[in-house]
Structure 1
Amino acid sequence: MFLPGNRERKVKIMKLIKDKKFLQNIAQYIDLTNTVGGGVVQPQVKMTKRKREAILQVLLPGISLEQCQVMLDKNQLTVMALHQSEQQQALQIPLFNQGFLLPPFTDFGQVRVEYIGQELRVHIPYLPKGPRFLEIEQPE
C-alpha cells in the first residue's frame, strides 16, 4: 500500500544508510546500549605460565588505557573497562568486568600491569619455592 509521504521517508532513510559517519555513530550507540541493557562484553583472555611468573593477557580492541582499571583485593584480581559519556561526564558505563582468583603462592606485593598495543598484561610473580627461615623477634 502506498501512502503519501512514505516515498520521501524511504529516500531519507536510504540517504542515512549511505552516510558512513551516521552508521559509525549508530553502531557505537547500539553496541553501548546493548551493553547497558544487559549485553555482555567479554575480552579475549590468555594465561601464560612461566617458570617464575604467570602472565595474564587481556586483549582490549577499541578500549583506551584511560578506560581501563585493574584492582587487586586480597587474591581477587579484577580487570574492568568503563565508558564515560561525552554528554554527561559523571556518567560511567561498565563495558566489561572480569574477575580472576589468584593462587595462594602468588607474590601479591610484586604484581604489576602493563598496557601494550591495546592489551593489558598482568605479571603475576610466584613466591619463592621451598622453605624459608623466619626471623625470631624478641620484644624488649
Structure 2
Amino acid sequence: MKLIKDKEFLKNVAQQVDLLNTLGGGVSETYMDIKKYNKGAVITIWAATVDPEAFKIVLNNNQLSIFSVLQSKENPAMAAPLFNRTFMLPPQVNLSRVEAIYKEGRLMVKLPYYESTDQPREIEIKHQ
C-alpha cells in the first residue's frame, strides 16, 4: 500500500474535512420557514453554528437570493456553501422596504407589502 507523501495535499484535505465538521461531528443543517401576514411576509432561516457574517442577501429587481458560505479561517480561499435559496418576489412586496435582521441564531428577512387603501375613494375627472 502506497502512502500519500505530499504533505501539502494532506494538509489541504484535512482542512476541508475540518471545515465541514462541527464539534458534534456532523454538518449543520439549515432550516427555513416562510410566514405570510396581512402586511407582509417573513422568511426565517436557522443555521446552527453559522456566523451572521457568513450570510449574504442580494435583491435584484424582484429576485431575492439568500446564501451562506462557511469560510476556512486557516485558508481563506477554501469555502463550502451551506445554504443557497432564490425567491421570486410577488409584485405586492415593497422592494424599497425589505430588511434583514439576525437575532439569536435566526436570520429574518422581512418583506413588507405595499400599503393598500381599503377605503374606496372617488377619482376626480379633469377637464382639458
TM-score normalized with structure 1 length: 0.61
Q: Distance in 2 between matches of 1:72 and 1:99?
A: 10
Q: Between Structure 1 and Structure 2, which shows a larger proportion of strand residues? A: 2
Matching residue of 2:53 = 66
User: Could you tell me which of 64, 79, 87 is aligned with 2:66?
Assistant: 79
Matching of residue 105 in structure 1 with residue 95 in structure 2: no
Matching residue of 2:9 = none
- Cα deviations across residues 42-83 of structure 1 (Å, max 9, x unaligned)? 621111111211111111111111111111111111111111
User: Could you tell me which of 24, 29, 51 is aligned with 2:17?
Assistant: 29
Structure 2 unpaired stretches of 5+: 1-13, 22-27, 124-128
Deviation at 1:103, TM superposition (A): 0.7
Matching residue of 1:96 = 83
Q: Distance in 1 between matches of 2:46 and 2:93?
A: 23
User: Could you tell me which of 84, 99, 116 is aligned with 1:129?
Assistant: 116
Task: Check the 8 A contact 2:65/2:85 in 1, yes or no.
Answer: yes
Question: Which of the pair has more CA radius of gyration?
Answer: 1
Q: Distance in 1 between matches of 2:78 and 2:58?
A: 20
Q: Between Structure 1 and Structure 2, which shows a larger proportion of helix residues? A: 1
Task: In structure 2, give the amino acid aligned to 1:126.
Answer: Y
Matching of residue 118 in structure 1 with residue 105 in structure 2: yes
**3-state SS of paired residue (1:127):** coil
Percent of aligned pairs with the same residue?
28
TM-score normalized with structure 2 length: 0.66
**3-state SS of paired residue (2:96):** helix
Deviation at 1:30, TM superposition (A): 6.8
Q: Distance in 1 between matches of 2:115 and 2:98?
A: 14
Aligned residues: 101
Task: In structure 2, give the amino acid aligned to 1:61.
Answer: A
